[in-house]
């Protein structure tokens, strides 16, 4: 969900012209040789789990690692019949730390596969390394469209979401509400926010909705949203759709309530607005906020009930998030793929990933790959409960949504 503009020149600079460029130019799979198992059936597999362990995204990294670890605990530390060695590396919070972390697990740790990545710029910057190494990267969070779109490579798959996909799911639902005055659209002024605005607007207007106004607060620097909240009030909009995450989500939701809009202009957003730790921080201000996302721990299906129970038992009653589920499912699809693949090389595993079919036992509900991005059900969620015990209750099934 972070900014992900990254040129080829910038990528080479952050990798280090003296070390990375010769490695990338060398013959063969110079970025990493793997665990030495040679892809033999039943041999070990070494996985690089690259997630934030420091910086602003560290809580997401914790959730992701927990999802990965829980799947392995439940399956005897084996994926596709192979004993797993997991090498955890710190992605940090930007591509300047994330891309070198991927390079290290490929070169120094000689992993066979990479899983993780929160930052979209890191995922886009890592893709050439994966292609050079001919090894698979399963992205378990980063939502940039280009990851499985314009910059698509057979070596990069995603088990999470695409930014516009999440927002577009809410468009037809809001249009059906015939909201007087239309919807005001606000999202942070960076790449993910731009994708969200475009995805929601296209879906909402196509379904007959009217945009009452738009705003793009500066990303990472906006502390006071009052000027934008005044814009919303002056627009006459009957509802708001927004995209904020992390500390910005906490500030916006709290200030929205303090400004007096909460009771008169319903607040909607992409699910990250109220996902994970931000919900407790938002407290009473979050009550009634509605969001679209592919998961909530409140989903009532057998797989999710078992998952939530096991997760809370393993992690001191912590509640799983979409970040946990995306990484749990990364292990699940790799289990299927490695069980069918003839070898551990990227071409063999990519072909096997393309044939995994429906993942029917996921906590999020059944889903499948469509263009290396999940085709999955989106849910409208409403914050309910009391401060300290808030949940994203399921309000509506928004149907299956593909990448936009």
Starting at the edge strand found earlier in the chain, the sheet holding 113-116 runs 78-79, 82-90, 45-51, 113-116, 136-139, 156-158
CATH number at residue 193: 3.40.50.2300
Domain that holds residue 73: 8-161+304-371
129-143 pLDDT tens trace: 999 999 999 999 999
User: 243 and 120: one domain?
Assistant: no
Residues 157 and 176 in one domain: no
Is 41 in the same domain as 173?
no
pLDDT at 1: 52
| Inside any domain, residue 12 | yes
- Least confident window among 35-49, 260-274, 350-364: 35-49
Q: Comparing C-alpha atoms, which of 261, 319, 260, 267 is closest to residue 288?
A: 267
Q: What percent of the chain lies above the pLDDT cut of 70?
A: 90
Q: How many domains does the chain have?
A: 2
User: Residue written as tokens 């998961």?
Assistant: 295
Say yes or no to pLDDT of 16 above 80: no
User: What 3-state class would DSSP assign to 98?
Assistant: helix
Domain identity same for 23 and 150? yes
SS3 label, residue 108: coil
Q: Which residues contact 325 (CB under 8 A, 6 or more apart)?
A: 67, 295, 307, 362, 363, 364
Structural domain contains residue 67: yes
- Could you report the per-residue pLDDT of 275-320, keeping only the tens digit for each? 999 999 999 999 999 999 999 999 999 999 999 999 999 999 999 9
User: Is residue 142 located within the same domain as residue 62?
Assistant: yes
Based on the fold, state whether residues 77 and 51 are members of the same structural domain: yes
Q: Which residues contact 137 (CB under 8 A, 6 or more apart)?
A: 102, 113, 114, 115, 117, 123, 126, 127, 130, 155, 156, 157
Distances (CA, A) of 155 to 29, 47, 120, 132, 137: 13, 15, 16, 10, 6
**2 in a structural domain:** no
DSSP H or E stretch at residue 211? strand 211-215
| DSSP code at position 258 | H
Q: Are residues 284 and 147 in the same domain?
A: no
Shared-domain flag, residues 17 and 95: yes
């Amino acid at each position: 969900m972070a900014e992900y503009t990254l040129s080829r020149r910038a990528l080479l600079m952050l990798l280090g012209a003296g070390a990375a460029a010769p490695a990338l130019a060398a013959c063969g799979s110079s970025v990493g040789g793997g665990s030495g198992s040679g892809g033999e059936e039943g041999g070990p597999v070494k996985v690089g789990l690259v997630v934030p362990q420091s910086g602003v995204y560290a809580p997401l990294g914790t959730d992701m690692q927990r999802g990965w670890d829980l799947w392995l605990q439940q399956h005897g530390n084996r994926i596709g019949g192979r004993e797993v060695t997991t090498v955890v590396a710190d992605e940090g919070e930007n591509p300047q730390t994330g891309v070198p972390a991927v390079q290290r697990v490929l070169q120094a740790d000689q992993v066979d596969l990479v899983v993780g990545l929160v930052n979209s710029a890191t995922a886009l910057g890592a893709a050439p390394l994966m292609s050079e190494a001919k090894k698979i990267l399963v992205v378990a969070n980063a939502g940039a469209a280009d990851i499985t779109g314009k910059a698509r490579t057979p070596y990069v798959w995603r088990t999470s979401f695409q930014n516009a996909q999440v927002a577009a799911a809410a468009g037809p639902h809001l249009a059906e509400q015939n909201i007087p005055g239309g919807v005001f659209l606000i999202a942070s002024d960076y790449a993910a926010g731009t994708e969200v605005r475009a995805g929601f607007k296209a879906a909402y207007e196509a379904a007959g909705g009217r945009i009452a106004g738009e705003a793009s607060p500066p990303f990472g620097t906006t502390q006071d949203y009052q000027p934008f909240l005044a814009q919303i009030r002056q627009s006459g909009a009957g509802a708001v759709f927004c995209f904020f995450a992390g500390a910005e989500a906490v500030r916006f939701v709290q200030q929205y309530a303090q400004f007096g809009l909460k009771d008169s202009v319903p607040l909607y957003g992409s699910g990250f607005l109220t996902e994970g730790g931000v919900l407790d921080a938002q407290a009473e201000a979050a009550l009634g906020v509605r969001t679209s996302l592919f998961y909530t721990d409140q989903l009532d299906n057998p797989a999710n009930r078992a998952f939530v129970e096991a997760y809370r038992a393993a992690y001191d009653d912590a509640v799983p998030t979409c970040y946990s589920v995306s990484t749990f499912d990364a292990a699940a699809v790799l289990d299927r793929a490695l069980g069918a693949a003839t070898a551990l090389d990227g071409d063999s595993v990519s072909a096997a990933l393309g044939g995994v079919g429906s993942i029917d036992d996921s906590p999020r509900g059944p889903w499948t790959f469509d263009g290396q991005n999940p085709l999955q059900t989106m849910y409208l969620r409403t914050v309910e409960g009391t401060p300290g015990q808030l949940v994203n209750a399921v309000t509506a099934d928004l149907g299956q949504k593909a990448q936009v």
